[in-house]
């Protein structure tokens, strides 16, 4: 019997977790596993806000995919996926066409702009490692240019962050530490710099525990960060953003840097397939297969999964993406042996949101609230655990966060 080909698209948390769990459980002759990713490295998306602020170097948040795959069992193809034809089992890439018996789509997230005018063009987004590098360098450029200008334009030193969800707040936490460093480096008085977070909802971190939200906002305000709450961004221009401050009332914030962190969607390629999706996220079946396609699994941010108990969808997180990879690997092995699949059941371990390198807030261990150094320590342990789950102890030693106190 021909051995099946398993084609995994995307070397993010979901895709890599699928691959490393497959390679752990199969023999070298059981199946052909092919992993396609546009770079020969994986990046920790969950650390991108640090690279964007400049508190971590871009190279610190990435590692070579070949470090974690067993090349006797997995063929790695560095290529950009261009099309996915699930009816004819073909995937088009810039390195040629690939076919499969089982397909795993883990192509990750894109920033959601909700069609707001100008955002695609004038705002920066913490989308991947190079986008993070661009944000860091853009901010540094604004500081350097301000220092050189004869007639100084102080709005160069204004940074608007759109969205006070977890990404926005974690990025603000890093900026809280980074701005004083930038001021020193470029001889800029701190009072010239404005960092403003604009949030559409009536609160920061909508839905999160109010005590933790209070802690986070007071902490960030103590670092000089301003909040404009309940004031959605309605337009971006080359000069800044327009926000809605009331019924038919608008204000313009002039800013040299606008970072858009107001939500995510799945990868656009999903919308070009014949699989049904909403904002490029597929409402998967309970075993993570796409509706109508028994040979297509979706993992990570391209998958949409309802938490029936809570009556709302599970958030798209790395935590869930990695767990999905474990179940999908098991399901593919079972199908290849003529068996059946099992339901994916998320095991939610809580949420910790960093506020820079040395502080954090978290809701963990069945509702226990943590803040400060303890929460920051936990966050670093979570980051290290993610490395461990994909690459074992050697990856933790190489890339882990050990500045824990
Ligand atoms: P990704 O990790 O986005 O990986 C997708 C992969 O596909 C990438 O390697 C990409 O290069 C590749 N790819 C994309 N398009 C193509 C193409 N056309 N061809 C080939 N390859 C392609 N979640 C948590 O649980 N905890 C956190 O603390 C946390 N912090 C976060 C902080 C930030 C700043 C951000 C932005 C997100 C954070 N998240 C966190 C969410 C988490 O990062 C995502 O849920 C997770 O990355 C989704 O994993 P994924 O495998 O679906 O996709
Ligand atoms: P999000 O959807 O969680 O938050 C986006 C925020 O932007 C919301 O508060 C929303 O009200 C706001 N917003 C929307 N439109 C706006 C507008 N026009 N103007 C101003 N504000 C607007 O998105 P996110 O923060 O990018 O997070 C994406 C996913 O990644 C989530 O599932 C999140 O849980 C996960 N994540 C987790 C962590 C963590 O666990 N530490 C960190 C970062 C991200």
Q: pLDDT class for 272, splitting at 50, 70, 90?
A: very high
Ligand nearest to the CA of 317: 1
CA distances from 112 to 119, 145, 164, 371 (A): 10, 30, 14, 30
Residue 313: what pLDDT? 94
Pocket of ligand 2 (CB under 6 A): 116, 162-168, 170, 198-201, 206, 232-233, 261-264, 315-317, 351-353
pTM of the model: 0.97
Higher-scoring residue by pLDDT: 309, 177: 177
> Is 170 assigned a catalytic role?
yes
Cβ–ligand 1 distance for 74 under 6 Å, the answer no
Ligand nearest to the CA of 208: 2
Beta bridge partners of 370: 362
Buried b (16+ CB within 10 A) or exposed e, 207-240: ebeeebbebbbebbeebebebbeebbbebbeeeb
Domains of the chain: 5-38+79-111+265-348 (3.50.50.100), 119-259 (3.50.50.60)
Mean pLDDT of the region 183-202? 97
Please, which residues have CB within 8 angstroms of residue 360's CB and are 6 or more apart in sequence? 173, 352, 353, 354, 370, 371, 372, 375, 376, 378, 379
Residue 368: what pLDDT? 94
Quick one: 393 exposed, middle or buried, by C-beta within 10 A (0-12, 13-18, 19+)? exposed
Ligand nearest to the CA of 47: 1
d(CA 73, CA 52): 35
> What three-state secondary structure class fits 39?
coil
Specify whether the CB–CB gap between 380 and 373 falls below 8 A. Answer: no
Q: pLDDT class for 1, splitting at 50, 70, 90?
A: low
Residue 29: what pLDDT? 84
Q: What is the mean pLDDT of the chain?
A: 96
How big is the CA angle at 283 (ends 129 and 34), to the nearest 5 degrees? 50
pLDDT at 405 over 70: no
How close is the Cα of 11 to the center of ligand 2, in Å?
23
DSSP characters over 269-313: GGGGSSS--BTTBEE--TTSBPTT-TTEEE-GGGEE-EETTTTEE
How close is the Cα of 230 to the center of ligand 1, in Å?
28
Question: Encoding tokens for residue 266?
Answer: 């799945």
Active-site residue identified among 44, 112, 170, 330: 170
Q: pLDDT by residue (tens digit) across 218-239?
A: 999 999 999 999 999 999 999 9
Dihedral sign (CA 317, 322, 323, 328): positive
Site of tokens 């980051």: 383
d(CA 82, CA 267): 11
How close is the Cα of 43 to the center of ligand 1, in Å?
8
Laid out side by side, the sheet with 350-354 consists of 350-354, 360-364, 368-371
How close is the Cα of 173 to the center of ligand 2, in Å?
15
Q: pLDDT by residue (tens digit) across 64-106?
A: 999 999 999 999 999 999 999 999 999 999 999 999 999 999 9
Specify whether the CB–CB gap between 19 and 33 falls below 8 A. Answer: yes
């Amino acid at each position: 019997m021909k051995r099946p080909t398993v084609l995994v698209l995307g070397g993010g948390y979901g895709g890599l977790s699928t691959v490393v769990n497959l390679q752990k459980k199969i023999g070298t002759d059981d199946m052909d596993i092919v992993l396609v990713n546009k770079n020969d490295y994986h990046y920790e998306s969950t650390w991108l806000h640090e690279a964007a602020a400049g508190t971590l170097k871009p190279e610190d948040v990435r590692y070579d995919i070949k470090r974690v795959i067993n090349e006797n069992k997995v063929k790695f193809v560095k290529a950009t996926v261009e099309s996915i034809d699930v009816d004819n089992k073909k995937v088009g890439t810039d390195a040629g066409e690939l076919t499969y018996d089982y397909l795993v789509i883990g192509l990750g997230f894109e920033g959601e702009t909700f069609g707001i005018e100008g955002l695609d063009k004038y705002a920066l987004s913490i989308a991947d490692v190079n986008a993070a590098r661009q944000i860091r360098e853009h901010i540094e450029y604004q500081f350097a240019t301000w220092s050189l200008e004869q007639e100084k334009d102080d709005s160069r030193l204004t940074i608007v962050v759109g969205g006070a969800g977890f990404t926005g707040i974690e990025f603000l936490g890093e900026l809280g530490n980074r701005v004083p460093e930038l001021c020193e480096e470029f001889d800029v008085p701190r009072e010239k710099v404005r960092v403003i977070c604009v949030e559409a909802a009536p609160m920061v971190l909508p839905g999160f525990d109010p005590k933790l939200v209070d802690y986070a906002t007071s902490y960030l305000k103590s670092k000089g960060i301003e909040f404009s709450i309940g004031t959605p961004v309605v337009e971006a221009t080359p000069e800044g953003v327009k926000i809605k401050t009331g019924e038919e009332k608008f204000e313009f914030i002039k800013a040299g840097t606008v970072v858009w962190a107001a939500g995510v969607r799945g990868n656009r390629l999903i919308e070009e397939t014949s699989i049904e999706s909403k904002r490029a996220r597929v409402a998967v079946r309970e075993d993570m297969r796409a509706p109508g396609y028994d040979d297509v699994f979706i993992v990570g941010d391209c998958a949409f999964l309802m938490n029936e108990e809570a009556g709302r969808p599970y958030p798209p997180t790395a935590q869930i993406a990695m767990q999905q990879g474990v179940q999908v690997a098991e399901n593919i092995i079972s199908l290849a042996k003529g068996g059946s699949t099992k339901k994916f059941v998320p095991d939610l371990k809580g949420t910790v949101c960093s506020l820079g390198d040395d502080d954090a807030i978290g809701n963990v261990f069945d509702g226990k609230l943590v803040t400060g150094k303890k929460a920051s320590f936990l966050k670093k342990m979570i980051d290290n655990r993610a490395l461990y789950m994909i690459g074992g102890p050697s990856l933790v030693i190489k890339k882990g966060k050990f500045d824990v106190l």
